Structure 1
Amino acid sequence: MIYKVLFQPNKIENPRRENTRSIYLEAESSVAARALVEEKTEYNIELIQEVTGDFLEYEQKSPDFKITEL
């Protein structure tokens, strides 16, 4: 499954909407996606969404859509 992970670049600064970024990951579950991001990065995770169906098609049309491998 593909997950969209919304995050802040680091855990030290207070979260600000303007700093929120996103990556797309392939993982078995949202729990596995969270564990992977927490293990490999210093990101402050805000939200993890499963991307399927029409939502996936919409996201794939974006020039920023790229599956990230950590």
Structure 2
Amino acid sequence: MQGLLGATLILLAACSLAAMATAAFRVPALLWGTVAIQWPALLLLAVSPQLALLGLSRVHEFDDRAHPTLAGIG
């Protein structure tokens, strides 16, 4: 278990360093206007978790209607 925790922490540190390095190069490019922001893709990334949760709640609602005794309704 200790080995897995250590490996996870090392991987997390490496990912955060990679993110900081990427941000160090991207932020000046964004400020100077040499890189265009894809606003529809950014909006889709921001909204997709809420859409997924909404879809899952509807699936559970249909399952409850299809099997009311399993859901404890009937």
- Is the pair's TM-score, using the shorter chain for normalization, greater than 0.5? no
Higher relative contact order (CA 8 A, sep 6+): 1
TM-score range, shorter chain: under 0.3
TM-score (norm 2): 0.19
Which structure dedicates a bigger proportion of its chain to helix?
2
TM-score (norm 1): 0.19
Return the index of the structure with the highest Cα Rg.
2
Larger fraction in strand = 1
